[in-house]
Amino acid sequence: MSLDAIPEWATLLSRPARPSIRSMFADDPERAARFSFDVGDLFVDLSKHRWDDQLRDDLLAVARVAGVFEARDRLFDGDRLNVSEDRPVGHLALRAPRGEAAIVDGVDVSADIERERERLSRFVDAVVDGTIVSPAGLAFTDVVNLGIGGSDLGPAMAHRALRAHRRDRPRVHFVSNVDPAATAEVTSSLDPRRTLVIVSSKTMTTTETLANLAAFERWLEPVAKSRVADHLVAVTVDVEAARRLGIDDERIFPFWDWVGGRYSLASSIGLSLAFAIGNAGFSELRAGMRLVDEHVRAAPIERNVPLLVALLGILYANRDGAETKAIVPYAHDLDRFVDYVQQLDMESNGKSVGRSGAPLVGTSGPIVWGQPGTDAQHAFFQLLHQGTRLVPVDFIGFSRPATDGDLIGDDDRHERLLDNLLAQSRALAFGRPWDETALLANAEHREFPGDRPNTVILAPRLTPSTLGQLIAFYEWVVFFQGWIWGVDSFDQWGVELGKQMAGERSQSDASTELLRERLRRSAT
């Protein structure tokens, strides 16, 4: 069922417009408390949105008819929710605690998951303590993860976000872009004799990753001679393909076809992150994800926060014409989190065909963008405050800084950071009306309409657990939205076409041939 086929959605659209956010606060002194919720360690304020009790109930009625809780239960059961590829979707099983059943496609896979967790943990410890060394007999000081898409962005984002929790050794690096400059930038500071390379590829056919692997093999060859494979580790579904690269079974860490790339951080794809933050930190990240999973499974519908956020996004996209959504973390270390959610959301729900194969009526996933505050305030907030487009905003902040500052005034600067977050949220929602600006010079340019909806998500501190909670929170928002829109959130045919055409040089068109010729001439 798609959104346009739900009668309750038509009922919602027929209701009169709600009053402004400013007036709803004026009429209800308890509004902030009633529309704020706890999800694990996350405090989520949904009071600055264009809704009231009636509109919330209308949206929940849409969710009920769409069968979101039946869909939720199917996801916990690892059912075949990837309909276009007829695959089970089992990433929630990766977050199940030890001793708890983890069902995927009717089978308890908990023993398989635990076995691979233990293998990964032992390998990380052996590299760190020097039991496993390079062919030159030297301890590995650096680890390079070669991957792209879900095999890169999750670990790279988390590695950046958890800077304060990294260990001194080994240092972890990421190469995803096939541009030679990316490889050169990383290798310029490394000793090949002390470098371990992780090849992260679900299928072991990703052209960019294999091209970068070939470059690293050439870089390693002078010091490793015939033992280049002793510098390599593979994370993949295709174990045989990894063996063909000469990698020993002890250094192949499989995951499963029922794990989608953008949902794979809790699998062996997180090996590079485990090197950076330790096995305990990696376990804490998974446990944080599970906290939100359990909230989604147990919370009553009117307090199921990822569902409420999903419904608000549908309201703005499908009723109010919002085409984008901004995410603004007031945390320097979350500077790649927006990229992560962008891939999660736009790969999952950027579809124009429903699960049934019929074209969608109306819009689906938003364009996700943003950057950390306070830089964002000096980049695009002008449009958010006074532009002609509706852009809902998610603000993310932390009560305490990621690290205990060494500089005088660090606590004061963090307080100023949070003051900016709260002020921007308030200004977007309430604005500055005409009666406050009418006597000022250029008054018409200094009026702020307000009524710009935004969510504020707060947590005590950026830790592996709270990062895991944020990841799972957005996963569930995307899942609920995709289900209500009627799309398959777990395939990605739009990604596959571009990869396929990149290898089809014999099939071309006039424009492409002209561009190829210009590139050839410019290269000589």
* Predicted local distance difference test score (pLDDT) of residue 71: 97
pLDDT at 114 over 80: yes
Q: Angle at Cα 290 formed by Cα 284 and Cα 291, nearest 5°?
A: 90
What global pTM score does this model have? 0.94
Query: Do the Cβ atoms of 41 and 465 come closer than 8 Å?
Result: yes
Domain boundaries, the chain: 3-12+28-66+299-402+455-491, 91-279, 494-524
Bridge partners for 64 per DSSP: none
110-132 burial: b if 16+ Cβ within 10 Å, else e: bebbeebbeebbebbeebbeeeb
Q: Mean pLDDT, to the nearest integer, of 407-435? A: 87
Query: Do the Cβ atoms of 340 and 485 come closer than 8 Å?
Result: no
CA gap 473, 327 in Å, rounded: 13
pLDDT tens digits, one per residue of 434-467? 566 666 767 677 778 889 999 999 999 999 999 9
CA gap 91, 258 in Å, rounded: 7
> Residue 232: which H helix or E strand, with range?
strand 232-236
CA gap 354, 487 in Å, rounded: 4
pLDDT tens digits, one per residue of 471-481? 999 999 999 99
Query: Do the Cβ atoms of 109 and 260 come closer than 8 Å?
Result: no
* Predicted local distance difference test score (pLDDT) of residue 438: 61
* Predicted local distance difference test score (pLDDT) of residue 369: 98
Q: Cβ-count burial of 343 within 10 angstroms (0-12 exposed, 13-18 middle, 19+ buried)?
A: buried
Assigned token pair, 506:
């014999």
Bridge partners for 254 per DSSP: 236
Instruction: Map residue 460 onto helix, strand or coil.
Output: coil
Q: Mean pLDDT, to the nearest integer, of 151-171? A: 96
pLDDT at 405 over 70: no
Bridge partners for 458 per DSSP: 43, 397
CA gap 383, 260 in Å, rounded: 35
pLDDT tens digits, one per residue of 14-58? 999 889 999 999 999 999 999 999 999 999 999 999 999 999 999
Q: Are strands 36-39 and 42-45 parallel, antiparallel or unpaired?
A: antiparallel
Query: Mean pLDDT, the chain, as a whole number?
Result: 94
pLDDT at 351 over 90: yes
Equal fold, 3-12+28-66+299-402+455-491 vs 91-279 = yes
pLDDT-wise least confident of 88-92, 146-150, 489-493: 489-493
pLDDT at 82 over 70: yes
Q: Angle at Cα 413 formed by Cα 411 and Cα 415, nearest 5°?
A: 70
Q: What is the CATH number of domain 91-279?
A: 3.40.50.10490
* Predicted local distance difference test score (pLDDT) of residue 383: 95
pLDDT confidence bin for 498, thresholds 50/70/90? low
pLDDT tens digits, one per residue of 310-350? 999 999 999 999 999 999 999 999 999 999 999 999 999 99
Q: Are strands 454-459 and 42-45 parallel, antiparallel or unpaired?
A: antiparallel
* Distance (Å) of CA 117 to CA 254, 267, 270, 277: 10, 8, 10, 15
Q: Where are the beta strands (DSSP E) in 342-479?
A: 367-369, 393-398, 454-459
* Predicted local distance difference test score (pLDDT) of residue 434: 56
Query: Do the Cβ atoms of 71 and 82 come closer than 8 Å?
Result: no
pLDDT confidence bin for 306, thresholds 50/70/90? very high
CA gap 497, 499 in Å, rounded: 5
Residues with a known catalytic role: 347, 378, 499
Class of domain 3-12+28-66+299-402+455-491: alpha beta
CA gap 515, 389 in Å, rounded: 36
Query: Any idea which residue has 């290269």 for tokens?
Result: 523
* Predicted local distance difference test score (pLDDT) of residue 408: 61
